[in-house]
Amino acid sequence: MKYILKIKLFATIGLLLMSVSCETDFNNPNAATSEETFSSREGILAAAVGMQQLYSTTGVRWLVETPAISTREGGITTTFQNMIELEDGGATLPDFNSNVQGLWATMLRVVKIAEDIEANVATIELEPGTQSGLLAHAKLFKAMAIGSLAQHYQQVIVQTSNANDAAFVTRQEAFGFAIMALNEAKSAIAATPVSAEFTSSVTLDNIDLTNTINAFLARYNLFAGNYDAAISNAVSIDVSSVSTFVYDSQNLNPIWGRVFLNDSPNFKPRDNFGLPSEFIFEAGDGRLSFYLVPLDETNQNGLPIEDLAGFFNVNTGSIPVYIPDEMNLIIAEANLRKNSPDIAAAENALNEVLTDTDDPIGINANLAPYSGPSTVDALLNAVYQNRRAELFLTGLSLEDSRRFGRPEPSGTAMDFDEERNRNFYPYPDTERNNNPNTPDNPNI
């Protein structure tokens, strides 16, 4: 990633990532201790950069790929057992599957780094705006990691424990915890705006902190059923501002690495964004050509697949932290799910997506306005279809499939006609073998 830092800061990042990404600890006389990392200006800045790097590379890989296979956004094109197990799905998906483990472990590593930054930032002599920026940035990434876990596991950990006895909370409680962290982040930088030092050392203007916090507040309030709060945060977004994860030759776009690296794809995108034929996309829908390249092939399980484009076909191409038009889709859905639905407001927000021709990141449906029935059920169906197209491969498909009441999986493995083959993932055996508080696995 394109961070301009001193050489010794890069060394600290490497040591920090080693300390949070290895299952086995080895004594390294040259390695920085946690106390050293979080006791200096350079150390804590390195921690913030390392946390962002971990989420945007390893984290994004697991977050996008794992639900994509379970919800048929993608079809496997490999014989690797972890991918075969994911596409087979069903009640027999093992808790030692590397995707199930990778998503869980990486997000908890992000949470741990964020916790350490929060605990130590006030003890280091920093510019006030650097301190507030680091605090808000840590709370943002902690919320993103906890929210990502809550989208895929029935219960999650929101606070780590060095004693391997972290408590589990329900996913609804986890969304509440993420919302609280985001509101705290928002307050921190409202009271003390971020400094130029923070921006030049950590985000490099690639991430608009305020906009991103509001975007995730809109997302998680929607998931938590706080519809007015979801709408309020969504409408506050500056739609001309874009936040991206930026990659370079040392840190490649992680989805490119899974689909294009060495011409050995692990998966490819499904036709029709993986949706069944009842969802019809117009031939001129710009999102088809933005994300998909016609291939006219099937994978080893007979699933029709395409080639991938969008944000994923260049090895150093940037990936948006969130899709701007997600906010319009949140406004539409929240207005439909309120106790007193506002159908006109929902339809107007949906039309903002359908008629888009000048999207800041290039996702333009370029279609006519919605012309279907002006009913809650019909509009929710349209919102779901457009979320699947607009937010393709963003890690939201499993959460969406459940929330919109799409057909339940049977629990039978290798039923490739099912829209999704799991509701939630099992808890990784690595957690169960160490944490006595780990719940029983969900049936499906």
- Note the pLDDT tens digit of each residue in 129-184: 999 999 999 999 999 999 999 999 999 999 999 999 999 999 999 999 999 999 99
User: What's the domain range around 44?
Assistant: 1-207+243-250+394-444
Averaged pLDDT of the chain? 93
Distance CA 359, CA 367 (A): 13
Distance CA 335, CA 369 (A): 18
Any domain includes 149: yes
Any domain includes 157: yes
What pLDDT is stored for residue 256 in this prediction? 98
Query: How many C-beta neighbours within 10 Å does residue 234 have?
Result: 25
pLDDT digits (tens, 9 = 90+) for 393-416: 999 999 999 999 999 999 999 999
Query: Which token pair is 70?
Result: 């379970």
Q: Which of 212, 150, 214 is nearest to 399 (CA)?
A: 150
Position 12 pLDDT exceeds 60: no
- Mean per-residue pLDDT for 413-434? 98
What pLDDT is stored for residue 299 in this prediction? 98
What pLDDT is stored for residue 53 in this prediction? 98
- Mean per-residue pLDDT for 317-324? 98
CB-based contact 389:282 (threshold 8 Å): no
Any domain includes 11: yes
Question: Percentage of the chain surpassing pLDDT 90?
Answer: 91
CB-based contact 266:83 (threshold 8 Å): yes
Any domain includes 196: yes
Distance CA 259, CA 253 (A): 10
pLDDT digits (tens, 9 = 90+) for 211-244: 999 999 999 999 999 999 999 999 999 988 999 9
CB-based contact 205:239 (threshold 8 Å): no
Please list, in sequence order, all residues whose beta carbon lies within 8 angstroms of the beta carbon of residue 94, skipping any fewer than 6 positions away: 85, 100, 426
Question: Percentage of the chain surpassing pLDDT 70?
Answer: 92
Query: How many C-beta neighbours within 10 Å does residue 396 have?
Result: 25
DSSP 83: H
pLDDT band at 37 (very low <50, low <70, confident <90, very high): confident
- How many domains does the chain fold into? 1
How many CA within 13 A on the CB side of residue 39?
5
- Mean per-residue pLDDT for 97-121? 98
- Mean per-residue pLDDT for 372-379? 98
Give the chain's largest Cα–Cα span. Answer: 68
pLDDT digits (tens, 9 = 90+) for 52-105: 999 999 999 999 999 999 999 999 999 999 999 999 999 999 999 999 999 999
Please list, in sequence order, all residues whose beta carbon lies within 8 angstroms of the beta carbon of residue 340, skipping any fewer than 6 positions away: none
Burial group, residue 247, by CB count within 10 angstroms (0-12, 13-18, 19+): buried
Q: Which of 2, 42, 106 is nearest to 15 (CA)?
A: 42
Tokens 């932290």 belong to which residue? 321
Helix (H) / strand (E) element for 297: namely strand 292-298
Please list, in sequence order, all residues whose beta carbon lies within 8 angstroms of the beta carbon of residue 296, skipping any fewer than 6 positions away: none
Long-range Cβ contacts of 349-355 (<8 Å, 24+ apart): 350/379, 350/382, 350/383, 350/386, 352/325, 352/328, 353/325, 353/328, 353/329, 353/386, 353/390, 354/386
Burial group, residue 379, by CB count within 10 angstroms (0-12, 13-18, 19+): buried
What pLDDT is stored for residue 135 in this prediction? 98
Any domain includes 427: yes
Position 109 pLDDT exceeds 90: yes
Distance CA 180, CA 4 (A): 32
What pLDDT is stored for residue 7 in this prediction? 35
Predicted model pTM: 0.94
Any domain includes 234: no
Distance CA 418, CA 72 (A): 8
Distance CA 354, CA 386 (A): 8
CATH number at residue 189: 1.25.40.390
Position 20 pLDDT exceeds 60: no
Any domain includes 217: no
What pLDDT is stored for residue 8 in this prediction? 40
pLDDT band at 36 (very low <50, low <70, confident <90, very high): confident
Any domain includes 10: yes
Burial group, residue 426, by CB count within 10 angstroms (0-12, 13-18, 19+): buried
What pLDDT is stored for residue 33 in this prediction? 57
Position 252 pLDDT exceeds 60: yes
Where is pLDDT greater, at 226 or 24? 226
- Give Cα 150 distance to the centre of its chain: 11
- Mean per-residue pLDDT for 121-128? 98
pLDDT digits (tens, 9 = 90+) for 260-307: 999 999 999 999 999 999 999 999 999 999 999 999 999 999 999 999
